[in-house]
Amino acid sequence: MSDLTPTSNATRPTTKLPPRPSKSSNASSSPSVTGTPVHTIQIPKDCIVNSPPEENLQKYKSYSRVQTRQRVFRHCHRCLCASLCLILLTVVLIMAILYFIYHPKAPTYTLTSLTISGFDPLSSSALTPLSPSINATLQTGNPNKRISILYQTGGSISAYYDTVNLCQGEWPEFRQSPHNVTVFETDLTGSGVLLTSVTRDAILQAEDNNKVPLKVNAKVPVKIKLGVVTSWRIVVRVSCDVIVDSLNGTAAVLSRKCHANTHYLW
């Protein structure tokens, strides 16, 4: 019987459990429901700011006002640029339509005759001024079918020998109808014209050869009338290179070449 009774000193089997993770003051991890570890970070209370400081709030308001003004300015600038571009495009489109409808052509200018008096190079010296006068006859032509040319007041004509301004006069005011040729006379007068010895000798030699070169320039303000539409004032510059046989009396015009310059109109 003694062999079947267990003794009090017999050993029992034991199960060892894994050690528990130690707690940390700043972070801890614990398994979530899905088995993924979740990390928790603790921030000291003195580092948490619930509202910005007063000076930062003032800076933010000031910055917001500046941004608002800049946005308004950019919007106005874009609107202004768009409006100007639209106006410019409209003007260009209207001008293109009028150009293709009317086909504007440049007017023609011709210097037909010159009557010169008071210009005697032999009596001129460095101390003796001349008072030349020229009666010029000019012819203007308007080759356009439906365009009238309105010559305004304030036009001027000047006559030159080389770079010496001999005399000047006025371009008359008149209206030139389509397909019209207008001939008019104008008087050019000068005073106190002094010739150097080199210029005087050159004029005398040109008179001996019966080929005296002169230049007649005109600055004429005009308006263009297309139907019921009248343009703004446009300055037409006319330049004529002529050669005459003499500087006394009615000079024979041996050659003439005139051209008009308006740059953007014709």
pLDDT at 119: 82
Number of Cβ atoms within 10 Å of the Cβ of 112: 12
pLDDT at 7: 45
Tokens of 71: 């946005």
- For the chain (length 266 residues), average pLDDT per consecutive 10? 46 50 47 62 64 64 69 82 91 84 88 88 71 93 93 95 93 94 95 87 89 94 89 92 89 89 69
Which residues, in sequence order, are bridge partners of residue 226? 147, 229
pTM of the model: 0.65
Report CA-CA distances (Å) from 29 to 34, 37, 206: 14, 6, 115
What is the DSSP secondary-structure string of the chain?
-TTTSPPTT------PPPPPPPP-SSEEEEE-TTS-EEEEE---GGG--SS--HHHHHHHHHHHHHHHHHHHHHHHHHHHHHHHHHHHHHHHHHHHHHHHHH-----EEEEEEEEEES--GGG-BTTB-B--EEEEEEEEEE--SSEEEEEPTTEEEEEEETTEEEEEEEEPPEEE-TTEEEEEEEEEE--SB---HHHHHHHHHHHHTT-EEEEEEEEEEEEEEETTEE---EEEEEEEEEEES-SSEEE-EEEEEEEEE-SS--
Closest of 227, 232, 233 to residue 97, by C-alpha: 227
pLDDT at 40: 75
pLDDT at 176: 95
d(CA 29, CA 23): 9
